[in-house]
A and B are shown apart, each in its own frame.
Chain A
Amino acid sequence: MALLRLEGVARSVQLPDFSTLEILRSIDFEAEVGDHVSIVGRSGSGKSTLLNLLGLLDVPTSGRLFFDEVPLENLSSRARDRRRGRDIGFIFQQFNLLPGRTALENVATPLLYASGREFWNRQRIAGEMLERVGLGGRMHSMPTQLSGGEQQRVAIARALVRGPRLILADEPTGALDVETGASVMGLLDDIAEQSGAALITITHDPNVAALARRHYRLDGGVLSPAVEVASPAEVLA
């Protein structure tokens, strides 16, 4: 059963001169639990718009999007928000750690939107997650006291703290050097595999894309399977 399925999805916007700009065209896509998919595209190819749709942050202009085989149009805005909080974890290029908060507080933040035990035990759960990404000794460090790689690890811990079934990584190594980027991607891949979550990496870096098991290219709003990518061994070498 597909965790996420797009059928003929298109997204367009109306410009100030009332003309229509088509950003995504007739996209068919599926991701299953445990999948690792990369989507490569240049700037302006529609990667952000696709990320919005995959993360249930936007709705298609036409076509259908299913999450857990539930059509998106059957979910209210509130239900989409709740499902996003529960089932989807985001990792961003610029880490986007909340300033002024420690690593522990950052990782605990998504649990503020959880309920019951998850909410009340948020400090403990966040601490365990930081241990898991190897930052048990930096829990009380502010983002400014962490290196880029450490910040991205905190961001990974934060994305995974609620045990999502889908991880959306938007240029996760874009702000890191090659070596750190490879290390972070290795960690992300490991954790995603252990938790059984689907990992969709949106990137313009072919090396990062190569770590995925399935590869797509987004060009001019059209998503198509990619064929020429480096192997993971080549990337990590």
Chain B
Amino acid sequence: MTGFFAAIAEAWSELRIHRTRVLLSLIGVGIAVAALTLVTALGGMVQQSQTETFERQAGRPAMLQLYAYNTATGTNPDLADLDAAFAGAMERYRIDYSSRVANNSWRIQFPNGVTDVNIMAVDADYGTMHRVQLAQGSWFTDRDAQRLAPAVIVNEFMWRQLGSPPLDTHPTIALPGAIPATGVIIAVTPSPVWDEWPSMYVMWNAYADRMTPEDLQNWGPPTYEAWVPPELAEQLTPLISQDVAGALGEDFQVDVNRQDYLAWGDGSDPLLPLKLMVGGVAILILLLGALGLLTISLVTVRYRIREIGIRRSFGATGGRVFFSVMMESVVATFVAGAVGVMIAVLLTRLPIVQEYLLQGAQDVPPFPWEAVVVGLVSATLVGALAGLLPALVAVRVKVIDAIRY
């Protein structure tokens, strides 16, 4: 036990005596670990941003999509029947989030003329299911379905075309259709620079109320989406299909498919290329740091040959010298790793970094603990590896030759 404390005391003494050299070698390791941790953490943030982009496009995992059609005639089922069958399945399997989704185009009056506007008709759950972002205002609630003046959510481009009216003034637009109505803008979605076409969300009921039964039949039924726990998706898919088909009758084919990003392609992780790239960069950075440390350590051991010889003459065993040189390297790199991790944490907390990398992601990921662990473990491993060669050199020192060196 004394030997262990003595080795620690010796390593600490060495670090204190050689603080300038240690500091110089630690700068390289600290920067490497900070870079490694930063890359890992930023990779996590980019990944989160990428994930949310995928989820906005295709829904959060696991998103099931349902279609129904008559196998004999190819016609669509009655909308009310399909609504009831789908709602029944949602209730039976206690699925809390579901939505009807339909796309259409309406001609809307703007101050400078009439323009075709892309319409997406959805239920209130759609906002959560697809992580819909809002620049201002609030997403639909179930109560909005009862409004006589339908609530609409427009994109920023359309909002600017309308003269950027403040939402607290309850700006309105004229909604066309079989039964025209006045829509109230309750929220605005952000428009990236490439989004240069007006679009808006309306609630499914408000959309359906504006359409004649013939139009609805012509446009076809909406797509039905259900957000289910990923681990139950495979089990629920055939059950929902069977239930809805059973309710519609034997003439109807009901297809339920998973559409979220985790179901894309051949089942492999679509973020794998990004992860591999980030990991590759991190490893490269660490290898460069390790190389720098190894060089300094080897030069240092040459410089310390006489000292090692003197210690051997005091009775330091080969194992003790090996352990001592290793410990110096490991203790130093661990401290450097801790400093590097702290630097990385501070850098990722900078608003400019978060804004640039997260690209407005809703769920800002906390600083990933795996990055901290990766940073510290890598630093310690690098310390051990970089200390190994110098430690072996130190053990092979011929004592009297070293003392006379």
The digit string for B281-319, where 1 denotes a CB below 8 A from any CB of A, is 000000000000000000000000011001111111111
Instruction: Evaluate contact between A109 and B317: CB separation under 8 angstroms.
Output: no
Instruction: Evaluate contact between A86 and B403: CB separation under 8 angstroms.
Output: no
Q: Is the interface of A mostly helix, strand, loop or mixed?
A: helix
Q: Answer whether residue A119 sits at the interface, using C-beta atoms and an 8 A cutoff.
A: yes
Q: Answer whether residue B396 sits at the interface, using C-beta atoms and an 8 A cutoff.
A: no
Q: Answer whether residue A90 sits at the interface, using C-beta atoms and an 8 A cutoff.
A: yes
Q: Answer whether residue B400 sits at the interface, using C-beta atoms and an 8 A cutoff.
A: yes
Instruction: Evaluate contact between B313 and A55: CB separation under 8 angstroms.
Output: yes
Q: How far is the CA of A51 from the CA of B401 in the complex (A)?
A: 11
Q: How far is the CA of A214 from the CA of B358 in the complex (A)?
A: 84
Instruction: Evaluate contact between B2 and A84: CB separation under 8 angstroms.
Output: no
Closest to B319 in A: A78
Chain A residues with CB under 8 A of B314: 85, 90, 109-110, 112-113
The digit string for A21-62, where 1 denotes a CB below 8 A from any CB of B, is 000000000000000000000000000100110010110000
Closest to B5 in A: A119
**Contacts A81-B316, A82-B317, A90-B313 known; A48 to B404 CB distance under 8 Å?**
yes
**Contacts A77-B318, A84-B313, A113-B315 known; A52 to B18 CB distance under 8 Å?**
no
Nearest chain B CB to A55's CB is how many angstroms away? Answer: 7
**CB contact list, A116-166 vs B, under 8 A:** 116, 119-120, 162
Instruction: Evaluate contact between B307 and A82: CB separation under 8 angstroms.
Output: no
Q: Answer whether residue B346 sits at the interface, using C-beta atoms and an 8 A cutoff.
A: no
Nearest chain B CB to A224's CB is how many angstroms away? Answer: 23
Q: Answer whether residue A64 sits at the interface, using C-beta atoms and an 8 A cutoff.
A: no
**Contacts A77-B318, A109-B311, A112-B9 known; A48 to B2 CB distance under 8 Å?**
no
Q: How far is the CA of A83 from the CA of B313 in the complex (A)?
A: 11
Chain A residues with CB under 8 A of B310: 92, 96, 98
Nearest chain A CB to B13's CB is how many angstroms away? Answer: 7
**Contacts A98-B310, A112-B9 known; A85 to B2 CB distance under 8 Å?**
no
Chain B residues with CB under 8 A of A92: 310, 403
Nearest chain B CB to A72's CB is how many angstroms away? Answer: 16
* Chain A residues in the interface with B (C-beta under 8 A): 48, 51-52, 55, 57-58, 77-78, 81-86, 88, 90, 92, 96, 98-101, 105, 109-110, 112-116, 119-120, 162
* Chain B residues in the interface with A (C-beta under 8 A): 2-3, 5-6, 9-10, 13, 17-18, 306-307, 310-320, 399-400, 403-404
